[in-house]
């Protein structure tokens, strides 16, 4: 197969979308499929033998944290140049909208995947909240031009179907069970993450620092429990605000971590805390479980799909500090804590990246079959 993947985000950026894409591309290349990636031009020209066609990226005034690529005609010329069997547009909003438009114009089979719950994000930005219905309509119009739509959890699939998205399927989750492993525990890393307070209960957050992640909701826990410390790994537009807000608490901001350093960070904490209810999945949950961490998460559809209460972690009610404190208290029983760590690792081992990669190829093959049937019908009718 010759595949063009058009994505709003790619390397060297780091997030769940990029992780899922790079794992899928590795697998596609191992099977000798030809892959071309159209993405914001951030200096990457090749990945695992796949060509990266960079398109002009700019920094938006309302979100200076990461460059974006606007819709542009260059996407058409790239599609014409490579003449793929089909196009996979990931999170079509900006440059992805060009992918949808030109794939339709050029009559190229199209698959689209929904990874970022952007309409939900607007609830956290008062200035943009009135645009939420428009954004839903815009995103739906793009996805409904695709022959197949994918999303990352059953909860989101149901929501998209309720919003009249068509032909929506769940693209299963996965994790690198070798990279994320309890064996990566490091005393030196624990010292760094706890600011030397290695005997305190160390909670870890990993991800983008933005309003919709609700990281500030953890602060009351630190005020109430002086025996707990927090490590926040990542960066984003809300970092300065959060650093100011968490002053005087047992909190360490590390910025981004990658590779071995990130693996050590996961394995060296006592539990992973996940306060967001805006995620379409949250791959970091599975990465923490693979590292042997209990997960303490705000209750939402995607977290309830991944966490078994009392077995792999604990769920708490959003915006309920007593519920959060109670969840943290549960892991203080040493015998139970050790069992949950083992359970979390065992659960994560069920989700290597092979299964979702194989599943993606099955969707691709289905797309090509649908296109062949469509062409046959058109041929008969003509």
Structural domains in the chain plus CATH codes: 2-174+353-381 (3.40.50.2000), 182-348 (3.40.50.2000)
- Where residue 381 falls among pLDDT bands split at 50, 70, 90? confident
pLDDT of res. 297: 98
This prediction has a pTM of 0.95
CA distances from 339 to 204, 243, 266, 334, 336 (A): 19, 34, 18, 9, 5
pLDDT of res. 374: 85
Residue of 146, 163, 165, 175 lying closest to 20 (CA atoms): 175
Q: Is pLDDT at 203 greater than 80 in this prediction?
A: yes
Residue of 28, 358, 356 lying closest to 172 (CA atoms): 356
pLDDT of res. 62: 60
Q: Is pLDDT at 93 greater than 80 in this prediction?
A: yes
pLDDT of res. 63: 65
pLDDT of res. 213: 97
Q: What is the mean pLDDT of the chain?
A: 96
pLDDT tens digits, 38-75: 999 999 999 999 999 999 999 876 666 778 899 999 99
pLDDT of res. 56: 96
Two structure tokens written together for 145: 């031009």
pLDDT of res. 195: 97
pLDDT of res. 375: 85
pLDDT tens digits, 291-346: 999 999 999 999 999 999 999 999 999 989 999 999 999 999 999 999 999 999 99
pLDDT tens digits, 283-302: 999 999 999 999 999 999 99
Two structure tokens written together for 227: 């025996």
- Where residue 173 falls among pLDDT bands split at 50, 70, 90? very high
Q: Is pLDDT at 10 greater than 80 in this prediction?
A: yes
pLDDT tens digits, 222-266: 999 999 999 999 999 999 999 999 999 999 999 999 999 999 999
Q: Is pLDDT at 120 greater than 70 in this prediction?
A: yes
Q: Is pLDDT at 162 greater than 90 in this prediction?
A: yes
pLDDT of res. 174: 97
When comparing pLDDT for 19 and 380, which is higher?
A: 19
Mean of the pLDDT values across residues 77-97? 98
């Amino acid at each position: 197969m010759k595949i063009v993947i058009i994505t709003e985000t790619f390397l060297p950026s780091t997030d769940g979308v990029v992780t899922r894409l790079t794992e899928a591309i590795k697998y596609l290349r191992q099977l000798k499929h030809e892959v071309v990636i159209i993405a914001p031009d951030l200096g990457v020209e090749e990945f695992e033998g796949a060509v990266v066609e960079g398109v002009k990226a700019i920094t938006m005034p309302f979100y200076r944290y990461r460059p974006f690529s606007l819709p542009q005609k260059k996407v058409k010329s790239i599609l014409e140049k490579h003449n793929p069997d089909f196009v996979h547009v990931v999170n079509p909003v900006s440059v992805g909208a060009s992918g949808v438009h030109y794939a339709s114009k050029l009559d190229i089979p199209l698959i689209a995947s929904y990874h970022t719950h952007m309409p939900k994000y607007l609830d956290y930005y008062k200035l943009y909240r009135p645009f939420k219905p428009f954004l839903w309509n815009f995103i739906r119009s793009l996805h409904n031009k695709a022959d197949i739509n994918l999303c990352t959890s059953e909860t989101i699939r149901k929501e998209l179907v309720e919003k009249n998205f068509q032909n929506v399927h769940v693209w299963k989750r996965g994790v690198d069970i070798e990279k994320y492993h309890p064996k990566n525990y490091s005393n030196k890393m624990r010292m760094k993450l706890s600011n030397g307070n290695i005997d305190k209960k160390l909670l870890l957050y990993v991800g983008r620092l933005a309003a919709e992640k609700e990281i500030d909701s953890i602060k009351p826990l630190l005020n109430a429990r002086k025996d707990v410390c927090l490590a926040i790994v990542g960066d984003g537009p809300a970092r300065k605000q959060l650093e100011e807000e968490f002053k005087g608490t047992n909190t360490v901001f590390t910025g981004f971590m990658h590779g071995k350093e990130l693996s050590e960070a996961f394995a060296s904490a006592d539990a992973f805390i996940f306060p967001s209810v805006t995620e379409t999945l949250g791959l970091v949950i599975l990465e923490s479980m693979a590292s042997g961490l209990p997960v303490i998460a705000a209750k939402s559809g995607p977290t309830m799909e991944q966490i078994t209460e009392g077995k792999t972690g604990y769920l708490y009610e959003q915006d309920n500090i007593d519920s959060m404190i109670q969840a943290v208290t549960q892991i203080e029983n040493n015998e139970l804590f050790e069992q949950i760590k083992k359970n979390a690792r065992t659960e994560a081992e069920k989700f290597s990246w092979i299964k979702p990669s194989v599943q993606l190829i099955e969707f691709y093959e289905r797309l090509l079959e649908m296109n062949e049937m469509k062409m046959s019908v058109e041929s008969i009718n003509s």
